[in-house]
Amino acid sequence: MRFLPLILRNLGRNKLRTGLTGAAIGLAVLLVCFFLTMPAGIDVFLSQIASNVRISVHHKGGLVYQMPFAYVNKIRAVPGVVAADGVVWFGGAYEEAGHVTFPSFAVEPEHVGAVWPDYHIDPAALERFRRFRDGAIVGRQTMEKYGWKIGQEVSLHSTIWPVTLTFRIVGEIPNARSPLFWFQREYLAQAIHEHGWVLSIVGIVWVRIADPALVDGVMNRLDAMFRNSPAETAAETEKSFFASYFGSLQGFVAIILVVTGLVALCVLCIAANTASMAVRERAREIAVLRAIGFGRRLIFGTLVAESMVLATVAGGTGALLTYAFTAAVKLAAGGWSTQLGPLSGFLVSPAIVGQGLLLAVVVGLVSGLAPAYGAAHRPVASVLREVF
């Protein structure tokens, strides 16, 4: 610590160069932290949304194929099943937006509370949801996006069914990352009945199972039950359902990580370059220090410390700036996006900031090592002779 003032003085010698190098390291750490929030967003989403006792049952061939609605009751009768709710995709577009900007489903209101207890929906809201035919329960993300309030009426026009329906919002899903819009299945059934259609299908059945240990058994049993029927099913855990939905984003994440790696390498080169220049300029001075009795270790230590101080301070600033940068990007990109899904959450966690700092420290250490070693081990006499 005694040598800290010396280190700082040395950094202050060429302020422009120190500043530029620091800015480059800070910017790179900021970028790396930002990119890391994207894959981390998927994990956070899965752990927040997915329950380990909830499974989805859908058609084996794809979500586009429907199952008979009668399947839902058959599923409820299977031992180990606590509750099941059959949902139908509505593809509702909010008038002001013009196209689908959040996922909307017709659900069975009386089973919502039992299938999604982890959503902590207000029991009074669930009661209203059961009672009012036109009631809707909406995720907080969508509520906030459009500034909706409980009690308000909103109209959605379906991109699937030839109907436009007006709903009264009776409650919310208190999770800022939930974009869901749920309404009564019966409401949709009545509306399409006017077109002479009967709502006899279901898209996905969400099933809550009594105990995590029973999950695999129940899934096998359900699939076996519908094997060789016109609509064979595929049961899977909620986590695997969403993970495969978002799995396609991996390529996008991979390319971003590759570019990030390249930027980090560039910065390592800059830092190494700066360190080696600083050492070269000071060759004479270092030789003098050695000549008057300062040890190799000390010289080596102060030089490495110099590049580490620079990298850590700059990198730390960059890592902290990630909070501001993500907020700005969120503002620019805005809300739920079909393309990015949970990638667009941009949640900065302490772990990510930590990783950014680690990168900065590694850059400082690696870039400082070689020049410092060289400086500490050059024969004193020859350096002095060379320079004078």
Where do contacts with another protein occur on this chain (CB under 8 A)? 17, 20-21, 23-24, 27-28, 30-31, 34-35, 60-65, 91, 93, 98-100, 157-160, 162, 164, 244, 247-252, 254-256, 258-259, 262-263, 265-267, 269-270, 273-274, 277, 280, 329, 332-334, 337-341, 344, 387
- Nearest by Cα to 375 from 270, 271, 278: 278
Query: Least distance (Å) from another protein to the CB of residue 57?
Result: 14
Q: Which is nearer to another protein, 163 or 308 (CB)?
A: 163
Query: Least distance (Å) from another protein to the CB of residue 164?
Result: 8
Would you call 324 helix, strand, or coil by DSSP? Answer: helix
- CA quadruple 329, 154, 149, 134: dihedral sign: negative
Q: Which is nearer to another protein, 27 or 384 (CB)?
A: 27
Alpha-carbon span 189 to 199, nearest angstrom: 5
Alpha-carbon span 108 to 322, nearest angstrom: 42
For residue 173, the cross-strand partners are 139
Half-sphere exposure of 370 (CA within 13 A, CB side): 12
Query: Least distance (Å) from another protein to the CB of residue 386?
Result: 10
Tokens found for residue 232: 């064979």
Q: Which is nearer to another protein, 6 or 20 (CB)?
A: 20
Q: Which is nearer to another protein, 172 or 238 (CB)?
A: 238
Q: Which is nearer to another protein, 44 or 256 (CB)?
A: 256
Query: Least distance (Å) from another protein to the CB of residue 115?
Result: 23
Written in H, E and C, the secondary structure of 171-223 is: EEECCCCCCCEEEEHHHHHHHHHCCCCCCCEECEEEEEECCHHHHHHHHHHHH
Written in H, E and C, the secondary structure of 111-180 is: HHHHHCHHHCCCHHHHHHHHHCCCEEEEEHHHHHHHCCCCCCEEEEEECCCCCEEEEEEEEEECCCCCCC
Query: Least distance (Å) from another protein to the CB of residue 132?
Result: 25
Alpha-carbon span 37 to 350, nearest angstrom: 11
Q: What is the dihedral of CA 190, 195, 201, 203, to 10 degrees?
A: -90
Question: At CA 327, angle to CA 321 and CA 330, rounded to 5?
Answer: 140
Query: Least distance (Å) from another protein to the CB of residue 197?
Result: 11
Question: At CA 93, angle to CA 189 and CA 150, rounded to 5?
Answer: 80
Query: Least distance (Å) from another protein to the CB of residue 311?
Result: 14
Q: Which is nearer to another protein, 1 or 332 (CB)?
A: 332
Q: Which is nearer to another protein, 82 or 369 (CB)?
A: 369
Query: Least distance (Å) from another protein to the CB of residue 98?
Result: 8
Q: Which is nearer to another protein, 184 or 322 (CB)?
A: 322
Q: Within its chain, how far is the Cα of 77 from the centroid?
A: 37
Edge-to-edge strand list for the sheet holding 181-184: 92-94, 153-158, 164-173, 135-139, 181-184, 104-107, 81-89, 204-209, 54-59, 233-237
Query: Least distance (Å) from another protein to the CB of residue 383?
Result: 13
Query: Least distance (Å) from another protein to the CB of residue 14?
Result: 10
